[in-house]
Amino acid sequence: MVAGLVSGKLALVTGAGSGIGRAACEILSREGATVIAAGRTYDKLVETVKIITALPSGSHDKGDHCAVELDVSDSKSIKSLLQKIQEQYKEPPRIIVNSAGVTRDNWMLKMSEEDYDHVLNVNLKGSFLVMQSFARMMSEAAVSGSIINISSIIGKYGNIGQANYAASKAGVVAMTKSAAKELGKFNIRVNAILPGVIDTQMIKTVPDKVKESMLKMVPLGRLGSPTEVAEVIMFLSSDKSSFITGAAIDVTGGF
């Protein structure tokens, strides 16, 4: 059997209960990684683990895949996860996928401070805390790694009703580029992906008229799939992208 692109590696995926996060778990498992599926809703994480365990590549030398509850905006929750990983796997994850994200959309003039703060705390601060904690774990263990932060094309162009979300995702790109400059000396690569209009639960909350107008801006004329984003995550996780760091890659169908 041909070894997968990330065989023998341990991967942590946040936001793993659905959408891009779940698809990333599936693709990473397909290519030989042992996956830690982390997120807020434990039942959905367990479902993700069942899906990837059932794949032909579902059993790995590093041990079983696992589901772990995690609030990325809470440093205590992240510290608890670090301890669990050290106890169970005895090594740091070499692949980190920061896919956890939320929206609380509203017109800027009506947006509450609470809604603004919540989105920034999860999408930007959460990505920072996870990246900081696990980059430290990797550097202390003297192992190389790849961190992939999920931003959004909205972080580049903005969008009506999403001032908070756009700010958080633009921040993820800038933070990614800064982290890449700092962590390169440890052979830890850091890259961002900017998905466009992707067929996830998040897009299902968008009114049909708005969705139709967004699709008119996509030259390929359709929604992207979570798997199409996950394949780019896979590339950035593997040695196929060994000289890529600090990049922000659009996966948008040309949006």
Q: What is the pLDDT of residue 204?
A: 81
Average pLDDT over residues 11-32: 98
Identify the band that residue 1 occupies on the pLDDT scale cut at 50, 70 and 90: very low
Residue 252 placed within a domain: no
Residue 255 placed within a domain: no
Q: What is the pLDDT of residue 60?
A: 53
158-194 tens-digit pLDDT: 999 999 999 999 999 999 999 999 999 999 999 999 9
CATH number at residue 157: 3.40.50.720
67-86 tens-digit pLDDT: 999 999 999 999 999 999 99
**Token reading at 141:** 């263990």
Residue 3 placed within a domain: no
Residues 102, 249, 166, 162, CA torsion sign: negative
Residue 253 placed within a domain: no
Residue 254 placed within a domain: no
Residue 97 placed within a domain: yes
Average pLDDT over residues 115-142: 99
Domain span at residue 64? 10-247
159 burial via Cβ count (<10 Å: 0-12, 13-18, 19+): middle
State yes or no: is 165 an active-site residue.
yes
Identify the band that residue 206 occupies on the pLDDT scale cut at 50, 70 and 90: confident
Average pLDDT over residues 150-155: 98
Residue 150 placed within a domain: yes
Q: What is the pLDDT of residue 185?
A: 99
Q: Of the residues 89, 116, 157, 165, which is catalytic?
A: 165
Domain count across the chain = 1
